Chain A
Amino acid sequence: MLTLNYIIRRSALSLVLVVGVLLLSFVLTYYAPGDPALTWAGRPRGPGALEAIERARQELGLDKPLWYQLSTYIGRFLSGDWGTSVKFKTPVLELVLRGFASSLELVAYSFLVAVPLGYLLGISAALSRGGLRDRVIYYFSAAISGTPRFITAAVAYIALYVLSQALGTPVIYGRLSSELRVGFEEITGVITLDSLIQGRLDAFLDSLVRIIPPAVVLSTYPMGVLARVVRIAVAETLEEEYVRQAVSLGIPAGVVMRRYVAPSVVPVVAQLSGLFFSYSLVEAMAVESVFGREGLGYLLIKSLESSDYPLIVGSIVLVSLVFVVANTIADVVQAKVNPRVVV
């Protein structure tokens, strides 16, 4: 049962979790090798070179003790100032939101594919338990969820490339065609949405065509796992007494499925979707790279390479925030649709 008390408790726990991640990531980057002051100072030379590095250290507050740096950082962070990237010399919040919007768009589209298809495949397999369809779906879901995403992405990219060469059509690459980028404003950073806001149907269709292949690739893992989990859940539900009775009373199969079987599966799907969402955000990094798309992964790698601690912490905290929010939503949905779940 969903209660206000639960929502408050859950929010407080989420906040503690995020602050914990923030603390941990800051402390770990503090002790990691590398000197951010050198990156911040650029290539100092001449009479003031040493002073320039020292000044960089002061500007970044690296000359202060850890507790002071940490408390100052957390204070600023919670007030919305995520600092400035040492590498890009640009506000961290701006960078991570830009990267996140791009990755989020891909993950969202992959879910539009994964959830309904995984659900339908699972139900379909459960309804023909032991039959040919069940076996085909079983092997198919095992194959798509078991193959690493970067391999799936590479194979899909090559296949599309060969196909486009044969058909004489452009190759799927990037988020939006270079020509269409002219005059296109990124408002939210989600291009399919921004194009609709600006009434740019050409940009919308172009970005849609470009996002479908990577989204399908990214959807393979959640789709495969969902199909198998749903199959088991549905198969178990079909064996339940109340379902058997409903069938014996002559209630049409479609109604039995809709009224008695499907609701018992929704909490499982909701719970898994929450987990998959965060996981897909991480997996998106590989897929984005193959299809020439920008995203949060690239930022995280660059920040690690250059000891860019504000960007490292910012990226990690953002991912953990997404994790927390996605799982909270999943729990709430689960509680809402299944009164037996105690929260």
Chain B
Amino acid sequence: MSRRLLPAVVLILVLAVVTGALLILYRQPQQIRVVVYAYRDAITGIDPGAEDDVGVVVLHALYDTLLRYDPRTGEYIPWLAERFERVAEDRWLIAIRKGAVFHDGSPVTAEDVKFSIERSLALYEEGIGLGFVWSCVEEVEVLNTTHLEVVTDGPCELARTASAAYSAFVYSRKVLQLSGAASPTDRKLIEWFNLGNELGSGPYRLRSYKPEREVVLEKFQDWWGWKVVNNPRAPDVVVIRIVEDPGEQERGLRAGEIHIASSVPRAVLRSLREGGFEVRAADTYHNFILMFNVLRWPTNVTEVRRAIALAIPWDSVVPTCLHGYGRVGSGLIPYGFPGYDPELRLGQDLDEAARLLAEVQLPSGTELEIVITSGYEEEECFAQLLAHELAKLGLRLRITSLPWDLVKQRGAEVWSNPEAAPHMMVNDWWPTYITPYDYLSLLECGYITWNWAGYCNEDFDERLWEAYEVDLADLEQALPLYQELQRYVYEELPAINLWDMQHIYVYNPRRVLVPDRALNPLYTYVVFFEYVEVLS
């Protein structure tokens, strides 16, 4: 090529690229309705029977539960079950919705529901998943292809179970054959799900699964519920993108590449609102519980725990650390959840705290350790506030900030090596289903993976189980029992609820609309995309 021609060719190429780029930047949006939801944690698994963590963010789009619970009205909404009736004290009749089909087009049958329930229970027996929600089930009898009866081992409020956030999903029993698993609890089946396979009947089906990066869902046109939700502007494609850094979520939102953000820094909310973004504060049952190591000196002394609790600047925590988006904790159970007790709120009293410490003769300068989760700005802020207040009492607080997985591991250490486990830890918790047991079980002796207090009290455990047994039949009757237990915890203070969290969802209202019914406090961090409207 002639040397004179070379610059001309390069110039033409550069112009072509620039023109193309400008065309792309100014292109008209396609007709496909896409929603990108930014979520802060990597997906931990999508086995509908075994998943017990953040995988529910995906699972509620892929699978239906028999019922859904509406905390605003306290009603159970018929979902995959058209009828869900108690026909005897220990017997429930379930009729599956006509026309409900799985993502492969096969009809949802009573056999599939039976398979799903029994698998959850069997996995739970092996310590996997949260199938305990079905623990009162004695037998599942299939009456015909669309009807079944569930026999319980006594009076049992099964509607709560059927609407649980975890382990209540219905899926096809064909998964056994597809995965080549020998039994419902075979590891092969769990692996099959976690490799990005599913066979549910939910509004969306799985298009691609990259748990560390993003999950892409596409609208399932044959979903029975489209007629019910009546949302012609529902997204055709949903991208659940894993964006851990809140700052990155904000950048993505401003760049228009994230349409619904679940965790932006609270400090920028005003600026986002001024920029035209919608900031929605949703009430949740997600609370942050401070757990004291009761097996290590000095937090094994009740007076010391109370002194620390009295040192917390309760009135400053929510305004300072949560920018007002939350509520001060009272008891272990969050506001709005059955069993919430407003009388169990603590206040700051440094004089009383000093008196208690003097009573137990705790040497001045004693160092305590608190472990918090790195990246959780509200926990970091709380730890700093607490350190400041404890310093006034002559105590030093060492703040250890760890990634979530390491926090869990340090928490469980209380059982194997309590002297090495931290004095205090902040544990954030949300419910499996509507029962106060869920929160109080954090202090059950055998619950080694979550009872980071190392609290082991036979009397407490027995009374908790008694309350739970009553609860299974009638929640209202169980509430006084739970209240007693909460007061017991309030006196002993192995753990204390710091605050109930409000989740902040930020979205561009010119692009999407997130109606109230798309968010539900029972289903934490789940967005029911079938209700989301894509406007442009």
Contacts and interface: CB of A to CB of B under 8 A. Distances in A.
Contacts of B191: 84, 89
A4 interface: no
Nearest to A176: B257
Given A173-B252, A202-B27, A42 B45 contact: yes
25 contacts: A34-B409, A38-B408, A42-B44, A43-B130, A45-B130, A49-B447, A51-B127, A53-B127, A53-B449, A87-B42, A89-B45, A89-B190, A91-B195, A99-B212, A169-B25, A170-B255, A178-B257, A181-B216, A181-B239, A205-B17, A205-B23, A205-B24, A298-B212, A299-B212, A307-B409
A209 B53 contact: no
A34 B34 contact: no
A47 B132 CA distance: 10
A169 B30 contact: no
How large, as a class, is the contact surface on chain A? 35 or more
Interface string B31-70: 0101010000011110000111100000000000000000
A52 B405 contact: no
Interface in B251-278: 251-252, 254-257, 259
Given A178-B257, A205-B20, A38 B409 contact: yes
Interface in A123-181: 157, 161, 169-174, 177-179, 181
Which of B42, B125, B132 has its CB near the most chain A CB atoms (within 10 A)?
A: B42
Contacts of B256: 170-171
A312 interface: no
Given A98-B213, A171-B256, A205-B24, A44 B405 contact: no
Interface string A47-82: 111111101000100000000000000000000000
Given A38-B409, A171-B255, 19 more contacts: A33-B406, A34-B405, A43-B450, A45-B132, A51-B127, A55-B126, A84-B191, A89-B190, A90-B195, A161-B255, A169-B26, A173-B252, A177-B24, A179-B34, A289-B248, A299-B212, A302-B42, A305-B403, A305-B406
B386 interface: no
Interface string A91-105: 100010011000000
B255 A292 contact: yes
A306 interface: yes
A39 interface: yes
Interface in A284-343: 289, 292, 294, 298-299, 302, 305-307
A172 B255 contact: yes
Contacts of B446: 49
A201 to B, nearest CB: 7
Interface residues of B, number: 67
Given A46-B124, A305-B403, A35 B245 contact: no
A297 B27 CA distance: 32
B24 A202 contact: yes
Nearest to A99: B212
Contacts of B43: 88
A126 to B, nearest CB: 22
Contacts of A41: 127-128, 449
A182 interface: yes
Contacts of B21: 205, 208-209
A294 B43 CA distance: 15
Interface string B186-197: 010011001110
Nearest to B36: A178
A102 to B, nearest CB: 9
A35 B449 CA distance: 12
A262 B480 CA distance: 88
Interface string B1-20: 00000000000000001001
Contact of A44 (B128, B196, B239): B128
A103 B404 CA distance: 25
- The 3 A-B residue pairs with the shortest CB-CB distance, nearest first, are A52-B127, A48-B127, A305-B403
B194 A90 contact: yes
Nearest to B210: A98
B127 A46 contact: yes
Interface string B128-168: 11111000000000000000000000000000000000000
A21 B239 CA distance: 37
A48 B405 contact: no
B29 interface: yes
B412 interface: yes
Interface in A255-295: 289, 292, 294
Contacts of B441: 45
Interface in A163-218: 169-174, 177-179, 181-182, 201-202, 205-206, 208-209
A106 to B, nearest CB: 15
B521 interface: no
B128 A52 contact: yes
B405 A87 contact: yes
Interface in B227-260: 236-237, 239, 243, 245, 248, 251-252, 254-257, 259
Contacts of A294: 213
A231 B186 CA distance: 65
B344 interface: no
Contact of B212 (A88, A91, A201): A88
Contacts of A33: 406, 409
Contacts of B24: 177, 202, 205-206, 209
Nearest to A298: B212
A43 B29 CA distance: 43
B422 interface: no
Contacts of B418: none
Contacts of B409: 33-35, 38-39, 307
Contacts of A42: 44-45, 50-53, 128-129
